[in-house]
């Protein structure tokens, strides 16, 4: 079983839509959680850390559910510029990257 | 702060040639990493280092070597390039508890 699993998508949504991605992890002792964004042919960039109490950054909300071992990313009012691949990252002594979920926001 | 820088941006190699991909960070991070990413695929860890003088293999180390003589630099050496090494190579750095920060990548084609 992979340490981190994500639905590869693609998620095709219209502008203005709300979209959510989940990411499951296998190790219940995982320590830190992050969401990254990767544009086509570019490096991954940190979008936000995920805290136990949940956290929000503008249109983006990240949540952690330790009991069910998943993290989520909610994007409200999607913009064309949100089109990218979203990677979840979980740490347990080392970093484990998911393979990413592709989001296409259409006009 | 330049963050993580990588050179070259692009390179074409012939089969059997060798080259070194350079990676430098100016954030005083102890941890540094090399990944490769094939088209449409996820990141695969090649090698990592937890400090100067200490390196360890990741999941796909064959065909590569690394060294870490300073905190700032973490070069990746390809010996006897093969078409299977055609990929995008990303270097990253972090502290023990921080997220990783990535360089812009090197696009390598082996023909």
Task: For A38-107, give the secondary structure using H, E and C.
Answer: ECCCCCCEEEEECCCCCEEECCEEEEEECCCCEEEEEECCCCHHHCEEEEEEEECCCEEECCCEEEEEEC
Residue A4 token pair: 């981190």
The partner residue sitting opposite A43, judged by closest CB among B42, B90, B94, is B90
The answer to whether the Cβ–Cβ distance between A97 and B90 falls below 8 Å is: no
Helix (H) / strand (E) element for A7: namely none
Evaluate whether A90 touches A96 at the Cβ level (below 8 Å).
Answer: yes
Residues of A in contact with B88 (CB under 8 A): 41
Res. A19: pLDDT tops 90: yes
Task: Report the C-alpha gap between B85 and A58 in whole angstroms.
Answer: 40
State both tokens at B106. 């090197």
Which residue of A43, A99, A100 is in closest CB contact with B104?
A43
Give the pLDDT confidence score for residue A5 in this predicted structure.
Answer: 95
| CB spacing of B102 vs A43 below 8 angstroms | yes
Identify the CA nearest to A105 among candidates A69, A75, A68: A75
pLDDT higher than threshold 90 for residue A1: no
Contacts of A44 in chain B (CB under 8 A): 43, 90, 102
Distance CA A80, CA B10 (A): 29
> Contacts of residue B97 in chain A, CB cutoff 8 Å?
32
pLDDT at position A41: 87
Q: What is the pLDDT of residue B96?
A: 84
* CB proximity B27 to A under 8 Å: no
What is residue B83's DSSP assignment? Answer: G
Peptide bond into B8 cis (omega under 30): yes
Distances (CA, A) of B82 to B15, B16, B85, B106: 5, 7, 6, 16
Residues ≥6 apart with Cβ < 8 Å to A32: A49, A90, A91, B97, B99
- Regions in chain B scoring below 70 on pLDDT: none
Chain B residue whose CA is closest to A94:
B96
Tens digits of per-residue pLDDT, A48-103?
Answer: 999 989 999 999 999 999 999 999 999 999 999 999 999 999 998 889 999 999 99
Contact residues, chain A, for B43 at CB < 8 Å: 44, 87, 97
Give the bridge partners for A101, in sequence order.
A86
Q: In sequence order, what are the residues at sequence separation of 6 or more whose Cβ sits closer than 8 angstroms to the Cβ of residue A72?
A: A20, A21, A22, A23, A62, A63, A65
* Interface residue B19 vs chain A (CB under 8 A): no
Give A-chain residues touching B46 at CB under 8 angstroms. Answer: none
Nearest-neighbour CA in chain B from A42: distance (Å): 6
């Amino acid at each position: 079983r992979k340490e981190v699993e994500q639905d590869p998508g693609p998620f095709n949504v219209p502008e203005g839509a709300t979209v959510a991605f989940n990411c499951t992890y296998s190790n219940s002792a995982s320590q830190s959680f992050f969401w990254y964004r990767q544009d086509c042919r570019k490096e991954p960039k940190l979008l936000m850390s995920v805290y136990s109490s949940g956290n929000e950054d503008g249109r983006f909300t990240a949540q952690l559910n330790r009991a069910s071992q998943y993290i989520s990313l909610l994007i409200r009012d999607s913009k064309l510029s949100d089109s990218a691949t979203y990677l979840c990252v979980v740490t347990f002594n080392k970093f484990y990257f998911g393979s990413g979920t592709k989001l296409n926001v259409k006009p | 702060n330049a963050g993580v820088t990588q050179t070259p941006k692009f390179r074409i190699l012939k089969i059997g040639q060798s080259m070194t991909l350079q990676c430098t960070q100016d954030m005083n991070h102890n941890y540094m990493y090399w990944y490769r990413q094939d088209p449409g695929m996820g990141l695969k860890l090649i090698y990592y280092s937890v400090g100067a003088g200490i390196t360890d293999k990741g999941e796909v180390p064959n065909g590569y070597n690394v060294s870490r003589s300073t905190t700032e630099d973490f070069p990746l050496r390809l010996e006897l390039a093969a078409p299977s090494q055609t990929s995008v190579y990303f270097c990253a750095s972090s502290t023990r508890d921080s997220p990783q920060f990535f360089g812009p990548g090197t696009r390598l084609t082996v023909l």
